[in-house]
Chains A and B, each alone.
Chain A
Amino acid sequence: MAETDLGASGHDTHQHAGTAPMVEEVTDFEVLEIALRELAIEKGLFTAEDHRRYTEHVEQLEPAAGSRFVAKAWLDPEFRRLALDDAIAASREMGVDWLHPTGFGTPSDFTAFELLEDTPTVHHVIVCTLCSCYPRPMLGMSPEWYRTPNYRRRIVRWPRQVLAEFGLYLSEDVEVRVEDSNSKHRFMVLPVRPDGTEGWSEEQLAEIVTRDCLIGVALPKPGVTSDAVRPLHPAIRPVTSD
Protein backbone atom coordinates (compact mmCIF):
# COMPACT_ATOMS: atom_id res chain seq x y z
CA MET A 1 0.00 0.00 0.00
CA ALA A 2 1.16 3.51 -0.74
CA GLU A 3 2.44 5.60 2.11
CA THR A 4 1.26 8.93 0.79
CA ASP A 5 -1.70 10.43 -1.00
CA LEU A 6 0.37 10.92 -4.10
CA GLY A 7 1.43 7.36 -4.63
CA ALA A 8 -1.85 5.59 -3.93
CA SER A 9 -2.74 5.38 -7.61
CA GLY A 10 0.75 4.36 -8.55
CA HIS A 11 1.03 7.43 -10.78
CA ASP A 12 2.83 10.42 -9.34
CA THR A 13 1.25 12.70 -11.89
CA HIS A 14 -2.26 11.53 -10.96
CA GLN A 15 -2.89 13.22 -7.66
CA HIS A 16 -5.99 13.04 -5.49
CA ALA A 17 -6.49 15.15 -2.41
CA GLY A 18 -6.75 12.71 0.47
CA THR A 19 -8.36 9.85 -1.43
CA ALA A 20 -7.18 7.23 -3.90
CA PRO A 21 -9.11 6.50 -7.10
CA MET A 22 -9.31 2.74 -6.53
CA VAL A 23 -7.87 -0.06 -4.43
CA GLU A 24 -4.56 -1.17 -5.93
CA GLU A 25 -4.77 -4.70 -4.60
CA VAL A 26 -6.57 -7.67 -6.09
CA THR A 27 -8.92 -9.08 -3.46
CA ASP A 28 -10.07 -12.67 -3.15
CA PHE A 29 -13.60 -11.53 -3.87
CA GLU A 30 -12.58 -9.92 -7.15
CA VAL A 31 -10.81 -13.14 -8.12
CA LEU A 32 -13.88 -15.17 -7.13
CA GLU A 33 -16.19 -13.05 -9.29
CA ILE A 34 -13.94 -13.51 -12.32
CA ALA A 35 -13.45 -17.24 -11.72
CA LEU A 36 -17.19 -17.88 -11.38
CA ARG A 37 -17.94 -15.89 -14.50
CA GLU A 38 -15.31 -17.69 -16.58
CA LEU A 39 -16.52 -21.12 -15.47
CA ALA A 40 -20.14 -20.20 -16.16
CA ILE A 41 -19.21 -19.05 -19.66
CA GLU A 42 -17.18 -22.20 -20.34
CA LYS A 43 -20.11 -24.34 -19.22
CA GLY A 44 -22.37 -22.52 -21.63
CA LEU A 45 -24.60 -20.97 -18.96
CA PHE A 46 -24.27 -17.66 -20.78
CA THR A 47 -21.84 -16.07 -23.18
CA ALA A 48 -19.26 -13.36 -22.61
CA GLU A 49 -21.30 -11.18 -24.95
CA ASP A 50 -24.43 -11.77 -22.80
CA HIS A 51 -22.50 -10.68 -19.74
CA ARG A 52 -21.11 -7.57 -21.42
CA ARG A 53 -24.60 -6.65 -22.65
CA TYR A 54 -26.16 -6.97 -19.18
CA THR A 55 -23.32 -5.03 -17.60
CA GLU A 56 -23.70 -2.20 -20.08
CA HIS A 57 -27.44 -2.23 -19.60
CA VAL A 58 -27.22 -2.07 -15.80
CA GLU A 59 -24.80 0.83 -16.00
CA GLN A 60 -26.92 2.81 -18.44
CA LEU A 61 -30.33 2.63 -16.79
CA GLU A 62 -32.13 5.94 -16.53
CA PRO A 63 -34.76 7.30 -14.16
CA ALA A 64 -37.42 7.39 -16.91
CA ALA A 65 -39.42 4.52 -15.43
CA GLY A 66 -39.70 6.26 -12.06
CA SER A 67 -40.79 9.51 -13.68
CA ARG A 68 -43.56 7.79 -15.63
CA PHE A 69 -44.59 5.89 -12.52
CA VAL A 70 -45.12 9.08 -10.51
CA ALA A 71 -46.85 10.90 -13.37
CA LYS A 72 -49.29 8.03 -13.71
CA ALA A 73 -49.89 7.99 -9.95
CA TRP A 74 -50.69 11.72 -10.07
CA LEU A 75 -53.25 11.25 -12.84
CA ASP A 76 -54.84 7.91 -12.06
CA PRO A 77 -56.29 7.52 -8.52
CA GLU A 78 -56.68 3.78 -8.94
CA PHE A 79 -53.04 3.37 -9.99
CA ARG A 80 -52.00 5.62 -7.10
CA ARG A 81 -53.79 3.36 -4.62
CA LEU A 82 -52.15 0.29 -6.14
CA ALA A 83 -48.74 2.01 -6.13
CA LEU A 84 -49.03 2.80 -2.43
CA ASP A 85 -50.46 -0.61 -1.47
CA ASP A 86 -48.31 -2.80 -3.71
CA ALA A 87 -45.60 -0.93 -5.57
CA ILE A 88 -44.30 -4.12 -7.17
CA ALA A 89 -47.68 -4.87 -8.75
CA ALA A 90 -47.95 -1.25 -9.88
CA SER A 91 -44.46 -1.46 -11.40
CA ARG A 92 -45.48 -4.57 -13.31
CA GLU A 93 -48.56 -2.80 -14.64
CA MET A 94 -46.33 -0.30 -16.36
CA GLY A 95 -43.84 -2.81 -17.67
CA VAL A 96 -41.22 -2.91 -14.92
CA ASP A 97 -41.01 -6.42 -13.55
CA TRP A 98 -38.74 -6.54 -10.50
CA LEU A 99 -38.68 -10.30 -10.58
CA HIS A 100 -37.73 -10.68 -14.23
CA PRO A 101 -35.97 -7.44 -14.82
CA THR A 102 -34.54 -7.99 -18.28
CA GLY A 103 -34.79 -4.66 -19.92
CA PHE A 104 -34.59 -2.89 -16.60
CA GLY A 105 -31.37 -4.05 -15.03
CA THR A 106 -30.86 -6.56 -12.32
CA PRO A 107 -31.78 -5.88 -8.74
CA SER A 108 -30.77 -9.41 -7.94
CA ASP A 109 -30.66 -8.53 -4.28
CA PHE A 110 -34.16 -7.11 -4.28
CA THR A 111 -37.04 -8.24 -2.08
CA ALA A 112 -39.33 -5.30 -1.41
CA PHE A 113 -40.14 -1.97 -3.04
CA GLU A 114 -42.17 0.78 -1.41
CA LEU A 115 -43.43 4.17 -2.50
CA LEU A 116 -43.16 7.01 0.05
CA GLU A 117 -46.04 9.44 -0.28
CA ASP A 118 -45.24 13.09 0.35
CA THR A 119 -47.95 15.45 1.61
CA PRO A 120 -47.89 19.23 2.07
CA THR A 121 -46.61 18.62 5.62
CA VAL A 122 -44.45 15.48 5.18
CA HIS A 123 -41.40 15.22 2.95
CA HIS A 124 -39.47 11.99 2.34
CA VAL A 125 -35.89 11.49 1.26
CA ILE A 126 -34.10 8.19 0.67
CA VAL A 127 -30.58 7.07 1.52
CA CYS A 128 -28.59 3.91 1.98
CA THR A 129 -26.46 4.46 5.05
CA LEU A 130 -24.63 1.14 4.61
CA CYS A 131 -23.63 1.38 0.96
CA SER A 132 -25.59 2.46 -2.12
CA CYS A 133 -28.84 0.44 -2.25
CA TYR A 134 -31.13 2.18 -4.71
CA PRO A 135 -34.32 1.32 -6.69
CA ARG A 136 -32.42 0.75 -9.94
CA PRO A 137 -35.24 -0.67 -12.08
CA MET A 138 -37.02 2.64 -11.48
CA LEU A 139 -34.16 5.11 -11.27
CA GLY A 140 -31.19 3.52 -12.99
CA MET A 141 -27.78 3.83 -11.40
CA SER A 142 -27.41 5.96 -8.30
CA PRO A 143 -25.70 9.33 -8.60
CA GLU A 144 -22.14 9.61 -7.32
CA TRP A 145 -23.11 11.84 -4.41
CA TYR A 146 -25.69 9.30 -3.21
CA ARG A 147 -22.81 6.90 -2.54
CA THR A 148 -20.60 9.31 -0.66
CA PRO A 149 -20.09 9.20 3.11
CA ASN A 150 -20.94 12.89 3.12
CA TYR A 151 -24.52 12.17 2.06
CA ARG A 152 -24.95 8.77 3.69
CA ARG A 153 -23.79 9.84 7.12
CA ARG A 154 -25.22 13.33 7.29
CA ILE A 155 -28.68 13.06 5.71
CA VAL A 156 -29.90 10.88 8.59
CA ARG A 157 -28.56 13.25 11.25
CA TRP A 158 -29.04 16.69 9.73
CA PRO A 159 -31.56 16.21 6.91
CA ARG A 160 -32.60 19.85 6.65
CA GLN A 161 -29.03 21.02 6.41
CA VAL A 162 -28.16 18.46 3.74
CA LEU A 163 -31.32 19.20 1.76
CA ALA A 164 -30.44 22.89 1.91
CA GLU A 165 -27.09 22.02 0.35
CA PHE A 166 -29.11 20.73 -2.62
CA GLY A 167 -31.00 24.03 -2.67
CA LEU A 168 -34.09 22.53 -1.08
CA TYR A 169 -35.26 24.64 1.87
CA LEU A 170 -38.21 23.18 3.74
CA SER A 171 -40.18 25.21 6.26
CA GLU A 172 -40.28 24.09 9.86
CA ASP A 173 -43.88 22.93 9.61
CA VAL A 174 -42.83 20.28 7.07
CA GLU A 175 -41.75 17.05 8.76
CA VAL A 176 -38.75 15.39 7.08
CA ARG A 177 -38.62 11.61 7.06
CA VAL A 178 -35.42 9.89 5.96
CA GLU A 179 -35.88 6.33 4.78
CA ASP A 180 -32.86 4.03 4.96
CA SER A 181 -32.67 1.48 2.16
CA ASN A 182 -30.93 -1.85 2.35
CA SER A 183 -30.11 -4.77 0.12
CA LYS A 184 -33.60 -6.18 0.52
CA HIS A 185 -35.76 -3.08 0.72
CA ARG A 186 -35.88 -0.21 -1.77
CA PHE A 187 -37.85 3.04 -1.68
CA MET A 188 -38.86 5.84 -4.02
CA VAL A 189 -40.52 9.16 -3.24
CA LEU A 190 -43.96 10.12 -4.56
CA PRO A 191 -43.74 13.92 -4.50
CA VAL A 192 -46.73 16.22 -4.21
CA ARG A 193 -47.96 17.25 -7.65
CA PRO A 194 -47.03 20.93 -7.98
CA ASP A 195 -49.43 23.76 -8.70
CA GLY A 196 -49.45 24.98 -12.26
CA THR A 197 -49.68 21.53 -13.79
CA GLU A 198 -53.45 21.32 -14.07
CA GLY A 199 -54.56 19.68 -17.30
CA TRP A 200 -51.09 18.34 -18.11
CA SER A 201 -50.63 15.00 -19.86
CA GLU A 202 -48.73 12.08 -18.36
CA GLU A 203 -45.81 12.84 -20.67
CA GLN A 204 -45.70 16.49 -19.59
CA LEU A 205 -45.84 15.54 -15.93
CA ALA A 206 -43.18 12.85 -16.30
CA GLU A 207 -40.78 15.45 -17.70
CA ILE A 208 -40.73 17.44 -14.45
CA VAL A 209 -40.33 14.37 -12.22
CA THR A 210 -36.57 14.32 -12.27
CA ARG A 211 -34.30 11.77 -10.64
CA ASP A 212 -33.60 14.07 -7.70
CA CYS A 213 -37.34 14.50 -7.03
CA LEU A 214 -37.66 10.72 -6.78
CA ILE A 215 -34.79 10.57 -4.29
CA GLY A 216 -36.27 13.49 -2.36
CA VAL A 217 -33.51 16.10 -2.65
CA ALA A 218 -35.60 18.27 -5.00
CA LEU A 219 -39.25 19.10 -5.63
CA PRO A 220 -40.92 18.96 -9.05
CA LYS A 221 -41.54 22.36 -10.59
CA PRO A 222 -43.21 23.33 -13.86
CA GLY A 223 -40.50 24.31 -16.29
CA VAL A 224 -37.74 22.35 -14.58
CA THR A 225 -37.18 19.10 -16.45
CA SER A 226 -34.53 16.44 -16.57
CA ASP A 227 -34.07 17.41 -20.20
CA ALA A 228 -33.35 21.02 -19.33
CA VAL A 229 -30.75 22.61 -21.55
CA ARG A 230 -27.42 22.70 -19.77
CA PRO A 231 -25.97 26.17 -19.33
CA LEU A 232 -23.29 26.91 -21.89
CA HIS A 233 -20.77 29.46 -20.76
CA PRO A 234 -18.84 31.36 -23.43
CA ALA A 235 -15.07 31.11 -23.17
CA ILE A 236 -13.51 34.00 -21.29
CA ARG A 237 -10.49 34.06 -23.59
CA PRO A 238 -11.66 32.45 -26.84
CA VAL A 239 -9.02 31.27 -29.27
CA THR A 240 -9.00 33.35 -32.39
CA SER A 241 -7.45 32.44 -35.69
CA ASP A 242 -5.58 35.71 -36.26
Chain B
Amino acid sequence: MTTDHDIAAVRVRTLEHIVEHEQIWERMAAQYRVTNPVPPWKTSLDAMCDALDEEGEALPVLTRREDEDRISREVYSSLPYPENQLVALAHSLVTRNVINETELADRLEVVRARLDVAGD
Protein backbone atom coordinates (compact mmCIF):
# COMPACT_ATOMS: atom_id res chain seq x y z
CA MET B 1 0.00 0.00 0.00
CA THR B 2 1.53 3.32 -1.03
CA THR B 3 0.81 6.49 0.90
CA ASP B 4 3.26 8.95 -0.59
CA HIS B 5 0.72 10.73 -2.77
CA ASP B 6 -2.67 12.35 -2.34
CA ILE B 7 -5.08 9.65 -3.42
CA ALA B 8 -7.97 12.12 -3.73
CA ALA B 9 -6.05 14.01 -6.40
CA VAL B 10 -5.62 10.93 -8.60
CA ARG B 11 -8.24 10.48 -11.30
CA VAL B 12 -9.46 6.94 -11.95
CA ARG B 13 -11.09 7.12 -15.39
CA THR B 14 -12.55 3.64 -15.15
CA LEU B 15 -14.53 4.70 -12.10
CA GLU B 16 -15.44 8.06 -13.61
CA HIS B 17 -17.10 6.22 -16.50
CA ILE B 18 -19.19 4.22 -14.05
CA VAL B 19 -20.26 7.40 -12.26
CA GLU B 20 -21.19 9.05 -15.57
CA HIS B 21 -23.41 6.11 -16.46
CA GLU B 22 -25.62 6.97 -13.47
CA GLN B 23 -27.03 3.52 -12.82
CA ILE B 24 -27.58 4.41 -9.19
CA TRP B 25 -29.97 2.23 -7.22
CA GLU B 26 -32.51 4.95 -6.54
CA ARG B 27 -33.02 5.48 -10.26
CA MET B 28 -32.94 1.78 -11.18
CA ALA B 29 -35.36 0.84 -8.40
CA ALA B 30 -37.79 3.54 -9.50
CA GLN B 31 -37.51 2.44 -13.12
CA TYR B 32 -38.31 -1.17 -12.28
CA ARG B 33 -40.69 -0.30 -9.45
CA VAL B 34 -38.63 -2.20 -6.92
CA THR B 35 -39.05 -1.08 -3.32
CA ASN B 36 -35.77 -2.30 -1.80
CA PRO B 37 -34.02 0.85 -0.55
CA VAL B 38 -30.54 -0.62 -0.99
CA PRO B 39 -29.09 -2.53 -3.94
CA PRO B 40 -28.68 -6.32 -3.76
CA TRP B 41 -24.88 -6.08 -3.74
CA LYS B 42 -24.79 -4.10 -0.49
CA THR B 43 -24.41 -7.08 1.85
CA SER B 44 -21.67 -8.48 -0.33
CA LEU B 45 -19.85 -5.14 -0.21
CA ASP B 46 -20.11 -5.12 3.58
CA ALA B 47 -18.70 -8.63 3.73
CA MET B 48 -15.87 -7.61 1.40
CA CYS B 49 -15.01 -4.71 3.74
CA ASP B 50 -15.08 -7.09 6.71
CA ALA B 51 -12.89 -9.59 4.90
CA LEU B 52 -10.40 -6.88 3.93
CA ASP B 53 -10.30 -5.61 7.50
CA GLU B 54 -9.94 -8.95 9.18
CA GLU B 55 -8.20 -11.27 6.75
CA GLY B 56 -5.74 -9.09 4.88
CA GLU B 57 -3.25 -6.33 5.46
CA ALA B 58 -3.42 -4.61 2.08
CA LEU B 59 -5.78 -1.90 3.29
CA PRO B 60 -5.88 -1.44 7.09
CA VAL B 61 -9.32 -0.81 8.55
CA LEU B 62 -8.78 2.79 9.62
CA THR B 63 -7.17 3.69 6.31
CA ARG B 64 -10.08 2.15 4.45
CA ARG B 65 -12.65 4.03 6.49
CA GLU B 66 -10.83 7.35 6.33
CA ASP B 67 -10.42 6.92 2.58
CA GLU B 68 -14.11 6.11 2.27
CA ASP B 69 -15.11 9.30 4.08
CA ARG B 70 -12.70 11.53 2.25
CA ILE B 71 -13.00 10.07 -1.25
CA SER B 72 -16.80 10.00 -1.07
CA ARG B 73 -16.83 13.64 -0.06
CA GLU B 74 -14.08 15.03 -2.25
CA VAL B 75 -14.14 12.91 -5.40
CA TYR B 76 -17.54 11.25 -5.76
CA SER B 77 -19.83 13.75 -4.08
CA SER B 78 -22.43 13.31 -6.85
CA LEU B 79 -22.99 9.68 -5.88
CA PRO B 80 -25.48 8.67 -3.21
CA TYR B 81 -24.89 6.04 -0.54
CA PRO B 82 -24.05 3.14 -0.88
CA GLU B 83 -22.72 3.67 -4.44
CA ASN B 84 -20.23 6.18 -3.03
CA GLN B 85 -19.04 3.59 -0.51
CA LEU B 86 -18.34 1.05 -3.25
CA VAL B 87 -16.65 3.46 -5.65
CA ALA B 88 -14.58 4.98 -2.84
CA LEU B 89 -13.34 1.50 -1.91
CA ALA B 90 -12.39 0.85 -5.53
CA HIS B 91 -10.65 4.24 -5.75
CA SER B 92 -8.76 3.51 -2.56
CA LEU B 93 -7.59 0.08 -3.75
CA VAL B 94 -6.49 1.43 -7.14
CA THR B 95 -4.73 4.58 -5.98
CA ARG B 96 -2.97 2.70 -3.20
CA ASN B 97 -1.70 0.24 -5.81
CA VAL B 98 -3.44 -2.79 -4.36
CA ILE B 99 -5.33 -3.26 -7.62
CA ASN B 100 -4.11 -2.02 -10.98
CA GLU B 101 -6.58 0.17 -12.90
CA THR B 102 -6.01 -1.71 -16.14
CA GLU B 103 -6.71 -5.08 -14.58
CA LEU B 104 -9.81 -3.61 -12.95
CA ALA B 105 -11.03 -2.30 -16.32
CA ASP B 106 -10.35 -5.69 -17.92
CA ARG B 107 -12.14 -7.53 -15.16
CA LEU B 108 -15.15 -5.24 -15.43
CA GLU B 109 -15.48 -6.25 -19.06
CA VAL B 110 -15.14 -9.94 -18.25
CA VAL B 111 -17.73 -9.81 -15.49
CA ARG B 112 -20.11 -7.75 -17.60
CA ALA B 113 -19.84 -10.20 -20.49
CA ARG B 114 -20.38 -13.16 -18.17
CA LEU B 115 -23.51 -11.66 -16.63
CA ASP B 116 -24.92 -10.48 -19.94
CA VAL B 117 -24.54 -13.96 -21.44
CA ALA B 118 -26.26 -15.45 -18.40
CA GLY B 119 -29.20 -13.13 -18.99
CA ASP B 120 -29.71 -14.04 -22.66
The chain A residues found within 8 Å of chain B, CB to CB, are 1-2, 5, 8, 18-40, 43-47, 50-52, 54-55, 57-59, 99-102, 105-106, 108-109, 111, 128, 130-132, 147-149, 152, 182-184
Bound Cα distance A99, B85 (Å):
17
Interface residues of B in 47-70 (CB under 8 A from A): 47-56, 58-59, 61, 64-65, 68-69
Asked if A19 contacts B35 (CB within 8 A), the reply is: yes
In the complex, what's the smallest C-beta–C-beta distance from A180 to chain B, in angstroms? 14
The chain B residues found within 8 Å of chain A, CB to CB, are 15, 17-18, 21, 23-25, 28-29, 31-41, 43-56, 58-59, 61, 64-65, 68-69, 80-83, 85-87, 89-90, 93, 98-99, 103-104, 107-108, 110-112, 115-116, 119
Q: What chain B residues lie within 8 Å of A28 (beta carbons)?
A: 17-18, 21, 23, 108
Asked if A29 contacts B25 (CB within 8 A), the reply is: yes
Identify which of A26, A43, A101, A131 contacts B38 (C-beta below 8 A). A131
Bound Cα distance A18, B32 (Å):
10
Q: A23-B32, A45-B58, A183-B81 are contacts. A131–B37 as well, Cβ < 8 Å?
A: yes
Q: A21-B34, A36-B48, A108-B50 are contacts. A55–B61 as well, Cβ < 8 Å?
A: no
Additional A-B contact list (13), CB under 8 Å, known A32-B90, A46-B52, A51-B47: A2-B32, A25-B23, A26-B119, A27-B39, A30-B40, A40-B93, A45-B56, A55-B43, A59-B43, A128-B37, A130-B80, A130-B81, A182-B81
Asked if B81 contacts A45 (CB within 8 A), the reply is: no
Q: Is the interface of A mostly helix, strand, loop or mixed?
A: loop
Bound Cα distance A182, B69 (Å):
13
In the complex, what's the smallest C-beta–C-beta distance from A181 to chain B, in angstroms? 11
Bound Cα distance A108, B65 (Å):
7
Bound Cα distance A109, B89 (Å):
11
Asked if A40 contacts B48 (CB within 8 A), the reply is: yes
Report 20 cross-chain contacts, Cβ distance below 8 Å, ordered by A residue.
A2-B32, A5-B33, A22-B32, A27-B39, A30-B40, A32-B108, A33-B45, A39-B107, A45-B55, A46-B51, A50-B54, A51-B51, A54-B47, A57-B47, A58-B43, A101-B50, A106-B53, A131-B37, A131-B38, A131-B81
Asked if A25 contacts B41 (CB within 8 A), the reply is: no
In the complex, what's the smallest C-beta–C-beta distance from B13 to chain A, in angstroms? 14
Q: What chain A residues lie within 8 Å of B89 (beta carbons)?
A: 36
In the complex, what's the smallest C-beta–C-beta distance from B115 to chain A, in angstroms? 5
Bound Cα distance A130, B47 (Å):
22
